[in-house]
Amino acid sequence: MNASTLARWARANEYNATIEDLTAPVYEKLRQVIPEIEWQVHAPYVAAINAFKKERNAIILAHNYQTPEIFHGVADLTGDSLALAQMAVSTEADVIVLCGVHFMAETAKLLNPRKVVLIPDLEAGCSLAESITGADVRLLRQRYPGVPVVTYVNTSADVKAETDVCCTSANAVEVVESLGVDKVIFLPDEYLGRYVASKTSVEIILWKGHCEVHERFTAEEINAYRGQHPGIYVLAHPECPPDVLDVADFVGSTSGMINQVGRVSPERVVMVTECSMSDNVALAHPDVEFIRPCNLCPHMKRITLPKILDSLESLQHRVEVPEDVARRARLSVERMIAIKKKPQVSSPSAAVARPGRKEIPHAPDEAGISQRTCYPEHRPQGGFSRGSPHFPDSQIFSRQNLDALATERRLTARRSQNQ
Ligand code: 13P
Ligand code: SF4
């Protein structure tokens, strides 16, 4: 059936025997979570999108937080941020439609500069990505010359361009430890950074960025689930506040949580993360009872079947990154992908013991900065020396205290000019 005819039917809300036939195998998978009456609205779009994918040699990558009709209905590959980045490298398709948020599409574009990368809604952002700019990272580097910057992929390409190496929630500890240094700047998720700090002896300098979805969960809420459902297995995303992670049985990325449900097969679980995850995972585990706390990510929910269809048909919205930014940002993502991931630690209670602090010998280079620090393109080119006014290393930075730091630097520079 011709893709344009199917698209016309979808936009006219027409559900007919052809569409029913074309989408019957998909609905078999979704029957448990989508009532038939609702499926009749989705099915014409599912049929049209799947037809357009063939016509455009396109692939749909969908994050685990996408709604079931997208996740099971039209996505070719699904996963967490790390998996999506890895899949983006290996695809043969000409067009990648990223059903997720903007930073995910930007990461796919960085890794596929010659492919068309589309996001169905340009406004699908992320509170973490919004919390920091490239200029903030440059100021932090001035405060900690030579200290490597590890940045969560939930950031803009501008921020990635100022970064030594990226990480995701699935590999953050491995990435930090891979650098072989005793201190890193970890941006921008304070809670993920604190979680990493609890798993490593590497000293972590934090940024006060938070996920607007995960920061709303509380330990009281989790304890209430435990009270109501004795024996319930609690899985939490590391973007949650530390007291929530303390009372979880497992902490991991979205895919880490999904895999853990498969490994443990608990009778009853609660996934302390975005709503759609439980719907998507429940289909594969009919014997597990999912208690569903519901915090929606408004950005992820901007992606809908009608917008995916528009996107594929008109090849909009194309994600572009200016070449000078892309070149530097790509390096930080590629370095992450090159780091081999170790199996994930499954429970905070089984957390690796904090080993003693590693003493890394410093080998000052011509700028007086350790060579075992940040990557060459981020090394200060003179002008900085160690022993600048001391801030406690545990300090958590934010735009406010960085502004104060920038003002202080300007005043110091003016004073020394006037002397
Ligand atoms: P994952 O990498 O664990 O999928 O997390 C991405 C995200 O945005 C979670 O809020
Ligand atoms: Fe960003 Fe949080 Fe939404 Fe993930 S859930 S995309 S971190 S706002």
pLDDT tens digit at each of 419 positions of the chain: 899 999 999 999 999 999 999 999 999 999 989 999 999 999 999 999 999 999 999 999 999 999 999 999 999 999 999 999 999 888 999 999 999 999 999 999 999 999 999 999 999 999 999 999 999 999 999 999 999 999 999 999 999 999 999 999 999 999 999 999 999 999 999 999 999 999 999 999 999 999 999 999 999 999 999 999 999 999 999 999 999 999 999 999 999 999 999 999 999 999 999 999 999 999 999 999 999 988 999 999 999 999 999 999 999 999 999 999 999 999 999 999 999 654 332 222 222 222 332 322 223 333 333 335 778 888 776 433 333 333 354 568 887 777 777 777 778 778 888 87
Q: What is the largest CA-CA distance in the chain?
A: 85
From 286, 143, 273, 276, select the one nearest 215 (Cα to Cα): 273
Angle at 264 (CA atoms; ends 262, 265), nearest 5 degrees: 65
For the record, the structure tokens of 376 come out as 């060459």
What ligand is nearest to the CA atom of residue 212?
Answer: 2
The helix (run of H) or strand (run of E) holding residue 38 is helix 36-56
User: Ligand 1 centroid vs 188 CA: distance in angstroms?
Assistant: 13
Sign of CA dihedral 30, 31, 33, 37: positive
From 39, 123, 107, select the one nearest 73 (Cα to Cα): 39
Q: Ligand 1 pocket, 253 CB below 6 A?
A: yes
HSE-CB of 76 using CA atoms within 13 angstroms: 19
Q: State the Cα torsion 53-59-63-67 to the nearest 10°.
A: 10
Report the nearest atom of ligand 2 relative to the CA of 65: 5
| Pairing assessment for the beta strands 165-167 and 116-118 based on DSSP bridges | unpaired
For the record, the structure tokens of 206 come out as 């934090």
The helix (run of H) or strand (run of E) holding residue 165 is strand 165-167
From 95, 10, 157, 137, select the one nearest 312 (Cα to Cα): 95
Q: Ligand 2 pocket, 101 CB below 6 A?
A: yes
User: Ligand 2 centroid vs 66 CA: distance in angstroms?
Assistant: 12
Report the nearest-CA residue for atom 3 of ligand 2: 297
Q: Ligand 1 pocket, 66 CB below 6 A?
A: no
Long-range contacts of 408-413 (CB under 8 A, 24+ apart): 409/142
Q: Ligand 2 pocket, 299 CB below 6 A?
A: yes
Describe the strand order of the beta sheet including 233-236 as a list of residue ranges: 250-251, 233-236, 268-272, 289-291
Candidates 64, 132, 154: which one to mutate for ligand 2, based on the most atoms within 8 Å of Cβ? 154
Q: How many CB atoms lie within 10 A of CB 20?
A: 15
Written as one letter, the residue type at 115 is K
Q: State the Cα torsion 344-147-204-165 to the nearest 10°.
A: -30
- pLDDT of the residue at 213: 98
